[in-house]
Chain A
Amino acid sequence: MTLMHRAFFGFLLCFALVAAPAFAGSKGETAEQFVESLGDTAIAMVTDKSLVGEARREEFRKLLNANFDMRWIGQFVLGKHWRRASPEQRETYLKLFEESIVFTYTNQFDAYSGQTFEVTGNSETGRYTVVSSRIVDPANSSSNVLVDWRLIEDDGTFKIVDVVIEGISMGITQRNEYSAVIDGSGGKIDSLLVKMEEILENLRRRA
């Protein structure tokens, strides 16, 4: 290694050390803004009374795919069984997974009663940026709901990979539930898909 090289790498190292903390701070802030604007969009969608039925679900589906890494989440939730699943099973599963989320959440839109959403901070845990937020019910100030958003960053864009409500991770809960179904049927992935189809049918009826 020439002196020139060494100097260059030394310089690069110094630059990295100086730049890293500054970058980390702005990364957290960018993540906060990302969650903040998602919250605003979601409340606007929920309060839009003209948006009903399939149109509402389509809007929600778009919002979901633009802000959440659905493929990532789907894989995480299926856990160790993802590797064993055939390409067809994976596609069916991901589709059912997305649709159950769409129906579960859009069915609850009408329960909204003026809650507001505020971002309260961010932190780095390993590979993830976690943005903390609070859902405030104006009718009952003591019943704030704390929500954490776990984000990954890919090529400068953020995607949500988990939502943690009052310490309960949606990803972990689904993962535990799905693996209980698969393990309970002797490891058959298809038995989960059949169950998911049934539940989705129920949710469609409630819509």
Chain B
Amino acid sequence: MTLLSRMHRAAGVFLVLFLLAGCASSPEDATEGPQVYDPIEPVNRVVFAMNDAVDTIVLQPTAFVYKNAVPDPIQDMVRNFLLWLRSPVVVANSLLQGDTENAGSATRQFFVNAVTAGLIDWGDGLGWGYRDEDFGQTLGSYGVAGGPYLVVPLIGPSNGRDIVGTVVDIFFDPLTYLVSGPGARNAITIARGTGEAVDFRARNYEGINDLKASSVDYYARLRSIYLQRRESEIRNGQPPKGVQSADGSEEFQNFEPSDRPQSVTGELPANAN
């Protein structure tokens, strides 16, 4: 089976999920986590548990060795290279969002760093940075809702919109057209995915371990973090317009502490205590 036919099949599956999302009603209580919409939670939890096992058995030990045995300058080069490979996708999506400034920064970075095959980031510390953009964010910026929350094997948290985005981004990636033959293409996809996973896990080694250790429900915590983070990335870190947003501002506006009859910040609700 070729990569393309596999993609077609995947696209079919997600179309079905999208339609399901459209039919299903909105999440239970609008004031309790408005953006959490997880219709296939039991399936997601199984996939999540498998991913977590892979993390514990394979990824975490690999990242530990990588972090401690590989010299820091080499680790930086790996990271620079991975970011450099991604930059054409950032350029394409920035342009689609009408953000020529970010597209310009990413383009400059791509050509300047190409001189050293992407291994060195020549713009580091010069304020040349750009935001990461992907097609999931592009869709979001045009008002496409996240759809159902999904945990993808080996990849992790995602949702309907972002999975479509991930597939579309493959077409924005020059590597897709430069490499011939599905064998070589798959090998590169796997190598790159592994590299990104190890790099990410190594840079957030303690952070992820602490997050896991302090969670009463690691699945629910990561779900909430993923959804909020994506909302924020779509808005490019800007505060939402108005309080009628899915980022939780509304939850704060609606919240009335029940033990504060005298407070200017909340009136005593009728059913308090």
Of all chain A residues, the one with the shortest Cβ separation from B271 is: A83
Q: Residue B264 at the A interface, CB < 8 A? A: yes
Q: Are B259 and A75 in contact (CB under 8 A)?
A: yes
Q: Please encode chain A, from 158 to 169, with 1 for each CB lying within 8 Å of some chain B CB and 0 for all others.
A: 000110001111
For A107, the chain B residues whose CB sits under 8 A away are: 210
Q: Are B220 and A181 in contact (CB under 8 A)?
A: yes
For A184, the chain B residues whose CB sits under 8 A away are: 217
Q: Residue A179 at the B interface, CB < 8 A? A: yes
Complex CA distance for A169 and B35, rounded to whole angstroms: 13
For B271, the chain A residues whose CB sits under 8 A away are: 83
Min C-beta distance of A24 to chain B, whole Å: 14
Of all chain B residues, the one with the shortest Cβ separation from A108 is: B210
Given A173-B228, A179-B33, A181-B220, A104:B248 Cβ within 8 A = no
Q: Residue B249 at the A interface, CB < 8 A? A: yes
Q: Interface-forming stretch among A35-43, A60-68, A147-155?
A: A147-155
Q: Are B216 and A83 in contact (CB under 8 A)?
A: no
Complex CA distance for A79 and B248, rounded to whole angstroms: 13
For B36, the chain A residues whose CB sits under 8 A away are: 176
Q: Are A80 and B31 in contact (CB under 8 A)?
A: yes
Q: Are A80 and B229 in contact (CB under 8 A)?
A: no
Q: Please encode chain B, from 197 to 229, with 1 for each CB lying within 8 Å of some chain A CB and 0 for all others.
A: 000000000100010011111011101110011
Q: Are A127 and B265 in contact (CB under 8 A)?
A: yes
Q: Are A176 and B214 in contact (CB under 8 A)?
A: no
Q: Residue A27 at the B interface, CB < 8 A? A: no
Q: Interface-forming stretch among A9-17, A48-56, A195-203?
A: A195-203
DSSP class of B's interface residues: helix, strand, loop or mixed?
Answer: loop
Given A125-B239, A127-B253, A168:B232 Cβ within 8 A = yes
| Selected contact of B225 from candidates A104, A171, A173, A196, CB within 8 Å | A173
Q: Please encode chain A, from 69 to 89, with 1 for each CB lying within 8 Å of some chain B CB and 0 for all others.
A: 001100110011011000000
Q: Residue A172 at the B interface, CB < 8 A? A: yes
Complex CA distance for A166 and B239, rounded to whole angstroms: 11
Q: Residue B142 at the A interface, CB < 8 A? A: no
Q: Are A177 and B221 in contact (CB under 8 A)?
A: yes
Complex CA distance for A176 and B33, rounded to whole angstroms: 6
For B272, the chain A residues whose CB sits under 8 A away are: 83
| Selected contact of A177 from candidates B216, B228, B235, CB within 8 Å | B216
Min C-beta distance of A102 to chain B, whole Å: 11
Q: Residue A135 at the B interface, CB < 8 A? A: no
Given A75-B259, A141-B125, A173-B224, A199:B31 Cβ within 8 A = no
Residues of B251-273 contacting chain A, CB below 8 A: 251-253, 255, 257-260, 263-266, 271-273
Complex CA distance for A203 and B243, rounded to whole angstroms: 36
Q: Are B257 and A71 in contact (CB under 8 A)?
A: yes
For A172, the chain B residues whose CB sits under 8 A away are: 33, 224, 228, 248, 251
Q: Residue A100 at the B interface, CB < 8 A? A: yes
Residues of A95-154 contacting chain B, CB below 8 A: 100, 104, 107-108, 111, 123, 125-128, 130, 141-142, 146, 150, 152-154
Q: Are A150 and B252 in contact (CB under 8 A)?
A: yes
Q: Are A192 and B231 in contact (CB under 8 A)?
A: no
Q: Are B232 and A171 in contact (CB under 8 A)?
A: no
For A100, the chain B residues whose CB sits under 8 A away are: 214
Q: Residue B134 at the A interface, CB < 8 A? A: no
For A72, the chain B residues whose CB sits under 8 A away are: 257, 260
For A175, the chain B residues whose CB sits under 8 A away are: 32-33, 251
Min C-beta distance of A125 to chain B, whole Å: 6
Complex CA distance for A195 and B214, rounded to whole angstroms: 11
For A123, the chain B residues whose CB sits under 8 A away are: 239
Which residue numbers of A lie inside 8 Å of B, CB to CB? 71-72, 75-76, 79-80, 82-83, 100, 104, 107-108, 111, 123, 125-128, 130, 141-142, 146, 150, 152-154, 161-162, 166-169, 171-173, 175-181, 184, 192, 195-196, 198-199, 202-203, 206
Cross-chain pairs A/B with CB under 8 angstroms, 19 sampled: A71-B257, A83-B272, A100-B214, A128-B252, A142-B125, A142-B129, A167-B229, A167-B232, A167-B235, A172-B251, A173-B221, A179-B32, A180-B217, A180-B219, A181-B216, A192-B216, A195-B217, A196-B216, A199-B216
